[in-house]
A and B are shown apart, each in its own frame.
Chain A
Amino acid sequence: MTVPVDDHLVHRGDGVFEAFKMVDGKVFLLDEHLARLERSAGDIFLELRHTKEEMIDICKQLAEVSGLKDILFRLYASRGPGGFTPNPYASVGPQLYLIASALRNPAPELYENGAKIGFSQVAIKSGGLAKVKTCNYISNVLMAKEAVDQKLNFVVNVTEDGFLGEGPTENIVYLNEANELIYSSFDHTLRGTTLLRLHELSGELQAQGLITGMKEAKQSADELYKAKEVFMIGTTLDALPVVEVAGQTVGDGKPGPVAKLARELLKKDQQENGTVL
């Protein structure tokens, strides 16, 4: 597990990354994750060392070597080694590091009891960089520290204007008083692949009368206090209900039906539409 210390990934955070999971031998949203990787790399003018097909083949080989069916792949595309300045041209060329770890899901009790979240004091990323999944993640690191220090499961950031952002590695959605499922505008947040997939699947939530629709919106963080349901969405979480926001109870204080069905839809999707390598 060694990366050269003069790889610009190490000393400047100069690289992009993705994390995606294999569940029961099928990779969830593989194309979407690799497409976002390519977009992120393009945004920082980083040429990927491997083609998409080569990266998929490496994932396949890693899965075979590991012998696992449930894997969290972590893919890092770096500027590469050479020198210690921020000059991206001082490199022997881009590199790829790809790790297969055993997929560890959150404890079942967390889904049964719900999570507690708070608001972060860490300055939110500026518009442009917030949309690129780079390895420069110090603000996310500090947010994760805030959550641990405050004995919370997550914190979410807020813009200077008081608009809702995202968690360290999760998107947040909530059910408003009009039964609309709302997620933050992508002005200051990463385009979450699981979130966007849930949006595609949200017709079922609507068909069952749980929501009137799902949409991206620039909303005040205060809206969370009035929400009927709140939940976090991410690659490893799927949909995790939130029962407390900054010390205030959400709804009746128990995980709600929208979060529950959202999780079921995502898990069903993983089984039915995951990619066999």
Chain B
Amino acid sequence: MGYPVYNDVTEIVNACPEYAAQNDYHAMYSSVFQGSLPTLN
């Protein structure tokens, strides 16, 4: 069973770098996003 493709995490991170920095988020893995490993820096 397939699942609709969501926005790539990297796009979200790039859209809100201040939020990521403020919360000390540095990296995330999500299986929903097909295993991409973006940096939040």
B33 to chain A, nearest CB (A): 8
Contact present for B29 and A58 (CB under 8 Å): yes
Contacts of A82 in B (CB 8 A): 3
User: Which residues of A line the B interface, CB within 8 A?
Assistant: 1-4, 7, 49-50, 58, 61-63, 65-68, 71, 81-82, 92-93, 95-102, 104
User: Complex: how many Å from CA A65 to CA B39?
Assistant: 6
Which residues in chain B, 15-41, are within 8 Å of chain A measured between CB atoms? 20, 23-32, 37-39, 41
Contacts of A93 in B (CB 8 A): 1
Contacts of B30 in A (CB 8 A): 2-3, 95-98
Known: A1-B12, A1-B13, A65-B37. A99 touches B28 (CB 8 A): yes
Contact present for A92 and B1 (CB under 8 Å): yes
* Residues of B contacting A: mostly: mixed
Contact present for A1 and B9 (CB under 8 Å): yes
Q: How many A-B residue pairs have CB under 8 A?
A: 77
User: Complex: how many Å from CA A62 to CA B38?
Assistant: 9
User: Complex: how many Å from CA A7 to CA B3?
Assistant: 11
Contact present for A2 and B6 (CB under 8 Å): yes
Known: A92-B1, A101-B24. A62 touches B12 (CB 8 A): no
Contact present for B29 and A62 (CB under 8 Å): yes
Known: A2-B6, A95-B31. A101 touches B25 (CB 8 A): yes
Contacts of B38 in A (CB 8 A): 65
User: Complex: how many Å from CA A98 to CA B1?
Assistant: 23
